[in-house]
Amino acid sequence: MNSFWEWMKTRLGIEELWNALFARHVPEAKGWTAWLYTLGSASLFVFTVQAITGALLAMNYVPSPDHAYDSIRFINEQVLLGRFLRGLHHWGATAMVILVSLHMLRVYFMGSYKYPREATWIVGVLIFLVVMGFSFTGYLLPWDQKAYWATMVGVNISAQVPVIGEYIGKVLKGGDEMGAVTLTRFYAIQVLVLPAIILGALAIHLFLVVWHGISESPTRKEDDQNKNAGTGILQ
């Protein structure tokens, strides 16, 4: 067993990975502000929950106007633990938006997006847009009255964009009116397109977080010698 572990360590670089990821230096944080540093990991946790529960829901869901609502009811009423799993995915979606937004706010107010972490921030903005895309496309899938009309409103809002709005609306709907193709489009975007984008973006995001290290929290200092304090410029 021990030699097997040694074999694994040398072939997979487990020790180096472990040290880079978990034995790295992080800034000392005291009091309640220390909790703010957990928001990124909390987002990552909920994202994992969404990925797993989403994959399980997809095993019983059919993206067609004839069957979508009934397949959701089937999950709710007949599949073992179906209602619970769907509840996790439902509330996880809301939690995701809240956590990612809070994480973004903490990064903004601590000035952590400044040099050299601009790329981490830019990829973060892309991730935020993808999370919004998940929410928008996922909301339609139950194909009940609320889903249908909320999406109608959302699509009509996009159609207000000057000049190209009408075309954005058509591409979103997959035609001139909302219908079967809107549902299949939203489903494909929700389970194939957006996951591919967010996985790539998260890989870059997390790599950059580890590579640059976590930024020191800003401090307020009275004396004039430290006029750079809080600007992100190293003293």
Partner 1 sequence: MAYDPTENEITRRSFLSRAIVGIGGLIGAVFTGIGGGYFLSPLWHKKKESWVDLGLVKDFREGVPVKVDFTVRKRDAWSTIESRSSAWIVTANLKEFIAFDPKCTHLGCPYRWSDDKKQFLCPCHTATFGIDGKVVSGPPPRPLDRYPTKVVGGHLLILPQKTAEA
Binding site for ligand HEM (CB under 6 A): 37, 39-41, 43-44, 47, 100, 103-104, 107, 112-113, 117, 120-121, 124-125, 127-128, 202, 205, 209, 214-215
163 is a contact residue toward partner 1 (CB under 8 A): no
Which of partner 1, ligand HEM, none binds 170 (CB below 5-8 Å, type-dependent)?
partner 1
Taking the C-alpha atoms of residue 36 and residue 43, their distance in angstroms, rounded to an integer, is: 12
Binding segment for partner 1 among 13-21, 41-49, 100-108, 164-172 (CB under 8 A)? 164-172
The residue among 56 and 130 lying less far from partner 1, judged by its C-beta, is: 130
Site string for partner 1, 50-69 (x = CB under 8 A): ---------------xx---
Q: Are 128 and 121 in contact (CB under 8 A)?
A: no
Neighbours of 182 (CB within 10 A): 21
> Taking CB under 8 A as the criterion, which residues in 179-198 touch partner 1?
179-181, 184
Residue of 140, 131, 135, 129 lying closest to 187 (CA atoms): 140
Which residue carries 């994480």 as its tokens? 103
Rounded alpha-carbon distances, angstroms, from residue 233 to 29, 199, 212, 217? 19, 32, 15, 12
Interface residue with partner 1 among 173, 198, 208, 217 (CB under 8 A) is 173
The token pair at 224 is: 């004039």
Binding segment for partner 1 among 78-86, 151-159, 177-185, 201-209 (CB under 8 A)? 177-185
The token pair at 145 is: 């009255």
Contacts for 166 with CB less than 8 Å, ≥ 6 apart = 159
- For residue 23, what is the DSSP state? S
Q: Which residues bind partner 1 (CB under 8 A)?
A: 65-66, 167, 170-171, 173-177, 179-181, 184
